[in-house]
Amino acid sequence: MELVPSPCANCTLASLQCTYKLPRRKRGPKRADVSPTPQSPLPSSAGGLANTPGRSGGCPSAEESSAMLSPLDHIRVDSPPTTTSIDLHQPSRFSPQRLWTSPVAHEDGLLQSESWTLTPLEIQRALVADIENLGTSLSDVATQCIALSAQIIFPICPMLHIQGLTASVPLLSQPLAASSSHSTGFKLEDIRVFALITALCSTIFACCPEAQSILPGHDRPLVSRHFLNASRRMLSHFHDRDICHPTSDSLAIRILQSSTLHTLGETQLSLFILGCANQLALLMRLFDKESLSGLETREAQKRRNIFISLYIADKSASVLNNIPSVMHRMCFDSELTVLDSRIFPDSEMTGYLLEGNMPPYDNPLEGMVHKGFFISHQLWSMAADIIMDMKILARVRRCSGATLATQASDAGNSSEALMDSYMEFCGILDSLPPWLLDPESHTTNDAHTTVFQRKLFWIQRANLIVTFHCLRLTLLQRAAEYGCCYLLGVTNTDSMFAHRKVEVARDLVLAATSMPFEALQANGEPCVEKLRQAGIELLEIHHKTSSNALSKRARFILSELLNVIARLDSRVSDNLGETLV
pLDDT classification of 187: cutoffs 50, 70, 90: confident
In this predicted structure, what is the pLDDT of residue 342? 60
Kindly report the length of the chain.
581
In this predicted structure, what is the pLDDT of residue 244? 94
Query: Is residue 350 a contact partner of residue 365, using CB atoms and an 8 Å limit?
Result: yes
In this predicted structure, what is the pLDDT of residue 177? 58
Would you say residue 104 has pLDDT above 50?
no
Q: What is the DSSP letter of 362?
A: -
Query: Is residue 457 a contact partner of residue 436, using CB atoms and an 8 Å limit?
Result: yes
Would you say residue 219 has pLDDT above 80?
yes
pLDDT classification of 319: cutoffs 50, 70, 90: confident
> What is d(CA 170, CA 173) in angstroms, rounded to the nearest whole number?
6
Least confident piece of the model among 199-208, 245-254, 353-362: 353-362
User: Which of the pair, 78 or 441, is modelled with greater confidence?
Assistant: 441
Q: What is the DSSP letter of 339?
A: G
Query: Is residue 350 a contact partner of residue 367, using CB atoms and an 8 Å limit?
Result: yes
- Highest mean pLDDT (candidates 71-80, 277-286, 359-368): 277-286
pLDDT in tens, 124-155: 999 999 999 999 999 999 999 999 999 999 99
pLDDT in tens, 192-210: 999 999 999 999 999 999 9
pLDDT classification of 62: cutoffs 50, 70, 90: low
Other C-beta atoms lying within 10 Å of the C-beta of residue 289: 18
Cα distances (angstroms) measured from residue 134 to each of 115, 129, 131, 174, 215 = 23, 9, 5, 19, 8
User: Which of the pair, 214 or 352, is modelled with greater confidence?
Assistant: 214
pLDDT in tens, 484-495: 888 888 877 888
Q: Which residues of 489-502 are buried (b: 16+ CB within 10 A; e: fewer)?
A: ebeeeeeebbbbbb
In this predicted structure, what is the pLDDT of residue 10? 62
pLDDT classification of 506: cutoffs 50, 70, 90: very high
Strand partners, 186: 69, 178
In this predicted structure, what is the pLDDT of residue 327? 84
Query: Quick one: average pLDDT of 249-266?
Result: 95
Least confident piece of the model among 228-237, 347-356, 528-537: 347-356
What amino acid is encoded at 151 in this protein? Q
Least confident piece of the model among 3-17, 198-212, 407-421: 3-17
Residues 6+ apart with CB under 8 A from 399: none
Q: What is the mean pLDDT of the chain?
A: 79
In this predicted structure, what is the pLDDT of residue 214? 94
pLDDT classification of 344: cutoffs 50, 70, 90: low
Strand partners, 112: 104
Cα distances (angstroms) measured from residue 280 to each of 133, 309, 335, 377, 452 = 37, 14, 19, 20, 34
Least confident piece of the model among 25-39, 342-356, 549-563: 25-39
Dump the DSSP string for 195-256: HHHHHHHHHHHHH-GGGGGTSTTS-HHHHHHHHHHHHHHHHHHSHHHHHHS--HHHHHHHHH
Least confident piece of the model among 21-25, 165-169, 265-269, 517-521: 21-25
User: Which of the pair, 34 or 251, is modelled with greater confidence?
Assistant: 251
> What is d(CA 534, CA 509) in angstroms, rounded to the nearest whole number?
9
Q: Where are the domains of the chain?
A: 70-93+115-355, 363-464, 493-581
In this predicted structure, what is the pLDDT of residue 395? 85
> What is d(CA 33, CA 152) in angstroms, rounded to the nearest whole number?
55
User: What is the three-class DSSP state of 8?
Assistant: coil
Give me the half-sphere count of Cα atoms (radius 13 Å) on the Cβ side of residue 361: 20
Query: Is residue 205 a contact partner of residue 263, using CB atoms and an 8 Å limit?
Result: no
Cα distances (angstroms) measured from residue 232 to each of 264, 324, 341 = 15, 26, 35
Q: What angle do CA 51, 52, 56 make, to 5 degrees?
A: 60
Would you say residue 380 has pLDDT above 60?
yes
In this predicted structure, what is the pLDDT of residue 483? 86
Q: What is the DSSP letter of 382?
A: H
